[in-house]
Amino acid sequence: MRIATWNVNSIRARSGRVVDWMVREDIDVLAMQEIKCKPEQFPAQLFEDAGYELVIHGFSQWNGVAFASREPMTDVATEFPNMPGFLKGEEGPGLPLEARALGVTVADLRLWSLYVPNGRALADPHYIYKLDWLEKLEEHTRAELAANPGLALALMGDWNVVPLDSDQNVPELIPGVSTHISPPERAAFHAFEAAGLTDVVRPIVPDGYTYWDYKRLAFPRNEGMRIDFILGSPAFADLVTDASIHRNERKGDAPSDHVPVVVDIELDGEDDDRPMIF
């Protein structure tokens, strides 16, 4: 089975490109972020004609997450326990939840499509929201794995965190000033390792960025960041046979500013009929 995550940065603007890539690369399950539309606005017919079922969670032209899968999806969740909300200028409990998390079960795999808050600036309330959001997600992950240690769980998506210095080549990112690279954000990301998850892509693809800004010729200059990840539980990691970052999807007409991250997994009894490559 081939599973992928991709911040598509508006599915209505890139639906044809996304479906073409999925069919060409034989993707079985795709987690999408920043779909930027409501479910009724999603270009579903293109996906369905290509053989994919959809689960969509979006409220407006901002944020939004979705799954496309060739296999049935069950146990749909549009939030995790204690997921914080956000409303600019407001504080306290009861804030509206954004469309940033979507969980499904596919073939005994528990998969989440996640669009972690950006943070905006170190002094911005959105930064506190981001750290709180990651903390509550980590608490839920830890509890879920404690209750079911054999769960094949994957948290996939745009994490908006650069875990290592080597994961970015962006002159505008300044330590002590910029988000994405601050010690608290990195600590929040690495807390998932302590909770039992691992980056299942990095051992196979140690280098490579997943995001390049549209501005300042960032892609030709390779001024990118690695911020899109698939973090898996031990049971999920044991199934991974290969991984890739599809850098070429940043090229061509109207690309997203992110590229897909892909893992191949081998399920019991699964017959992989893809051609061998020598």
* Domain count along the chain: 1
Specify if 37 maps to a domain: yes
Specify if 130 maps to a domain: yes
Residue type for position 93: P
Q: In what order do the strands lie in the sheet with 101-106?
A: 74-77, 101-106, 109-115, 152-158, 228-232, 198-199
Specify if 48 maps to a domain: yes
Go through the chain and tell me how many residues it has.
Answer: 278
pLDDT digits (tens, 9 = 90+) for 49-60: 999 999 999 998
Specify if 274 maps to a domain: no
Could you tell me the CATH number of the domain that includes residue 251? 3.60.10.10
**pLDDT score of 80:** 98
Contacting residues for 96 by C-beta, under 8 A, at least 6 apart? 85, 86, 87
pTM higher than 0.85 for the full model? yes
- Domain with 176, as residue range(s), is 2-265
Whether residue 278 is predicted with pLDDT greater than 50 in this model: the reply is: no
Other Cβ atoms less than 10 A from the Cβ of 220: the count is: 8
Specify if 187 maps to a domain: yes
- Do 66 and 56 contact (CB within 8 A), yes or no? yes
Specify if 275 maps to a domain: no
Burial category of 113 from C-beta neighbours within 10 Å (exposed 0-12, middle 13-18, buried 19 and up) = buried
pLDDT digits (tens, 9 = 90+) for 162-211: 999 999 999 999 999 999 999 999 999 999 999 999 999 999 999 999 99
Sign (positive or negative) of CA dihedral 265, 271, 277, 278: positive
Specify if 276 maps to a domain: no
Specify if 278 maps to a domain: no
pLDDT digits (tens, 9 = 90+) for 105-121: 999 999 999 999 999 99
- Residue 28: HSE in the Cβ half-sphere, 13 Å Cα cutoff: 18
